[in-house]
């Protein structure tokens, strides 16, 4: 597996991009968005994000995520690390366990970019 890391997107990057169908992205916008989509381009990471986002209470312990996959704990941790580096989730260690939650601004950014503009009536 690659040692490549995904850079965390800055807070200010969230407002930089409009809708794809409204205007072409500039190079910087495309690079920033590609990091998010690359992080979601793996089925395991997409499932992990879905499991975290859909969790009642807004957070989930890694101990509850690992059994859902036929992968080792270090592999799951690697995928979670990539989601963190992309700015899609954050986490906190509590004793021996790590708890994860989704960063809503990142999901809102993706939703905004992918939303087709409404036709004016």
Spatial separation of the C-alpha atoms in residues 97 and 33, rounded to whole Å: 31
pLDDT band at 5 (very low <50, low <70, confident <90, very high): very low
Q: How confident is the model at residue 15 (pLDDT cuts 50, 70, 90)?
A: very low
Closest CA to 36 of 54, 58, 16: 16
- pLDDT for residue 97 is more than 70: yes
Q: pLDDT > 70: what percent of the chain?
A: 79
Give the pLDDT confidence score for residue 18 in this predicted structure: 62
- Three-class HEC string of 86-101: CCCEEEEEECCEEEEE
Span 23-80, pLDDT tens digits: 788 898 889 889 999 999 999 999 999 999 999 988 999 999 999 999 999 999 999 9
Q: What is the pLDDT of residue 7?
A: 42
Q: What is the mean pLDDT of residues 84-107?
A: 95
Higher local confidence (pLDDT), 46 or 9? 46
């Amino acid at each position: 597996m690659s040692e490549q890391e995904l850079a965390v997107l800055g807070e200010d990057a969230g407002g930089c991009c409009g809708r794809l169908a409204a205007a072409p992205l500039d190079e910087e916008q495309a690079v920033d968005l590609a990091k998010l989509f690359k992080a979601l381009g793996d089925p395991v990471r997409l499932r992990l994000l879905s499991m975290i986002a859909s969790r009642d209470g807004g957070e989930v312990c890694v101990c509850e995520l690992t059994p859902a996959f036929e992968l080792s704990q270090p592999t799951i941790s690697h995928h979670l690390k990539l989601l963190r580096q992309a700015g899609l989730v954050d986490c906190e260690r509590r004793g021996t366990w790590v708890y994860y939650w989704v960063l809503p601004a990142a999901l809102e950014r993706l939703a905004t970019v992918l939303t087709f503009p409404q036709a004016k009536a």
